[in-house]
Chain A
Amino acid sequence: MALIEAENRFRELLEAAPDAIIEVDLDGHIVLLNAVTEKLFGYSREELLGMNVDDLLPAHVSPRHAAHRAHYAGRPQTRPMGSGLILRAKRKDGSEFPVEISLSPVNVEGGFHITAIIRDATQRQLAEERIRAANQQLELRNREVERANRLKSEFLASMSHELRTPLHTIIGFTELLAEELEGPLNDRQKRFVTHVHQDSLHLLALINDILDLSKIEAGRMELRLETFDGAAVLQEVVGAIRTLADAKEIRVENRVAWPVGIVADRVRFREILNNLLSNAVKFTAEGGDIWIEVSVDGGMASFSVSDTGIGIAPEDQQAVFETFRQVGSTTRGVREGTGLGLAIVKRLVEMHGGTISIESELGRGSRFEFSIPSAPTREPLILIIEDEPSARELLATYLQPSGYRTETAGAASEGLAKARQLRPDLITLDLLLPGRTGWQILRDLQQMPETRNIPVLVISVLDEDKAALKLGAAAYLRKPLKKEALLRAVRENLARESGSKI
């Protein structure tokens, strides 16, 4: 009774299995099977019972199967499924299909039989093939993307070179005209030349933007960190932006009146400020206000640029930092620029270890604040070489309130010694020193490696601008000297020297 029950439960188990299960004797004759086997091979139970298992294999493997079976009989042990091996099987209609097989010996009276569990691997194989094909496709596409990306970088690099070459000459000739060595310009002409100069510099900046972004994206941008006064750079940028702001009658108030030492890449820092300020001007209506503030806290200097412009809707505030994005609903037709500015700014700030944030209200204005590592400051040092005490005094009074340190020398030898010792950031030189040695000083300064990169502003009553420029003077200022002209020349030349330093 118990035996019949056990037999029934075995039957149920056999039929409930999802795989085909057969039992064969050592000659290969099928002695037991379940319903799945019938379905899988297309034979009826009656046909299968007593059939040799070799007949369930394709003709090309069937003849060798008896030998395999004999080999297994010699060393019977369980061989599980899933060892990755896929074999071929044959249905009644002759069609072939892939199977996975597990084998185990079962003891019977007078020896043992072999139980085989056979699983149809058609779906698995198909899936694997699909995955393989998909992977292959993916790899191909990846390779293509990589190649396209490399081509894009190469294209941008060569394109920016092609674009910059003619721009360089435009800028050069404009500067030549502005020097007026080839003949005087009237006031209107001077203004026109200034416009050409400004706009070619602007165009150069845009091209550099595109190149920068492609460099950042390719991970090829390197920062040249140095310690400098961020407020001085800010002042230059504000000065440069003022022309644009004036045209729209926008008031620009720089509330940063003291030096702010920062550790940054000077060129990139200028780029950050320039981007934020030109954006502020661009998106602020006529008669509006822009102001810049700074706070230093916890090793970081936070600069903020605020405006009374059109503002940015809350849902668009993060999108402004994405590339090629000008938030459409808020730009109202203002589409000057590359749309890369803020994306570059964000990446540059983050590369410096800082953060950038935005506060804005639609129709009321925006405030961008970014942080950059701070450092103790050093104001630029200017050496004044001038024999007349009153003139020395005057130059110092002009320079000191604008944040420059000054050192004076009344004679040629003293001037040269101090230049070599102190390595000032800039030198003002009077040509008419006792013994007419001003020219000699100019020459000596260029000969000494410690001093030859220091810009020299020649200040004189003489009409010798051509000769002075020939000897490499950075600028020639005629006495009587106006304070504004002096400060402008100092600012421009300090900026140029630091800008061209590599």
Chain B
Amino acid sequence: MRHILVAEDREVSRELLLAVLTGVGYRVTAAVDGRDALAKTGHELFDLVILDLNMPHVDGVGVLECLKKDPRYESVPVVALTAHAMEGDRDRFLAIGFSEYITKPVNLSLLRREVARLLEAAPPEWKS
């Protein structure tokens, strides 16, 4: 089963993301902030990572930068999630290495569609 890491500091928002994805059958692990996300990606390899950009300790961009240095995560898609939608944002975030950029309020089917697409494009499941 594909395993997704969702890092979002706000509890209610976190549960919403979890429900949207577990509801259609994914295995999802939650991280409560950027530091937690790095701890979890450190000893487990996820198939996809979704990062809220605005988190305490280490923000979404900070987590992405660390993941980019980790060879195991070389081809794991990382999705940015943010409440501030501004023109040109998408290109900016794709340019620094995010695989996709999704704005809040989260359109449920759009999120699932992007997740399905990115998982399909990612390499076969990692076996330990």
Contacts and interface: CB of A to CB of B under 8 A. Distances in A.
Interface of A: 161, 164-169, 171-173, 175-176, 179, 181-182, 204, 222, 224, 443, 446-447, 452, 455, 466-467, 469-475, 496, 500, 502
A425 to B, nearest CB: 15
Contacts of B116: 443, 446, 470-472
A168 B23 contact: no
B12 A472 contact: no
Contact of A500 (B23, B83, B110): B110
Contacts of A161: 83-84
Interface in B1-59: 10, 12-13, 16, 19-20, 23-26
Given A165-B83, A181-B24, A470-B116, A475 B19 contact: no
9 contacts: A168-B104, A172-B105, A173-B16, A173-B19, A179-B108, A224-B87, A443-B116, A467-B25, A470-B112
Interface in B81-106: 83-85, 87, 89-90, 103-106
A472 B87 CA distance: 25
A176 B112 CA distance: 12
A466 B25 contact: yes
A464 to B, nearest CB: 11
Contacts of B90: 502
A462 to B, nearest CB: 16
A501 to B, nearest CB: 11
For the complex, would chain B's binding face be called helix, strand, loop or mixed by DSSP majority?
helix
Given A447-B120, A469-B109, A165 B16 contact: no
Chain B interface extent, by class: 20 to 34
A176 B23 contact: yes
The 5 closest A-B pairs by CB, nearest first: A472-B113, A470-B24, A446-B117, A168-B105, A181-B23
B66 interface: no
Best-buried of A165, A167, A455 by chain B (most CB within 10 Å): A165
B25 to A, nearest CB: 6
A164 B120 contact: no
Contact of A176 (B16, B89, B105, B120): B16
Contact of A469 (B24, B83, B87, B105): B24
Given A176-B23, A471-B113, A500-B103, 11 more contacts: A164-B105, A165-B104, A167-B105, A181-B23, A446-B117, A466-B25, A467-B24, A470-B112, A470-B116, A472-B113, A472-B117
A455 B114 CA distance: 12
Contacts of A471: 112-113, 116
With most chain B CB atoms within 10 A of its CB, the pick from A164, A168, A171 is: A168
Given A164-B83, A172-B20, A452 B117 contact: yes
A470 B25 contact: yes
| Most central of A204, A446, A496 by chain B CB within 10 Å | A446
A363 B13 CA distance: 48
B87 A502 contact: yes
A100 to B, nearest CB: 61
B65 to A, nearest CB: 25
Nearest to B106: A172
Contacts of A204: 105
A412 B120 CA distance: 19
Contact of B120 (A171, A173, A446, A474): A446
Contacts of A169: 10, 12-13, 16
B24 A175 contact: no
Given A172-B16, A176-B20, A472 B109 contact: yes
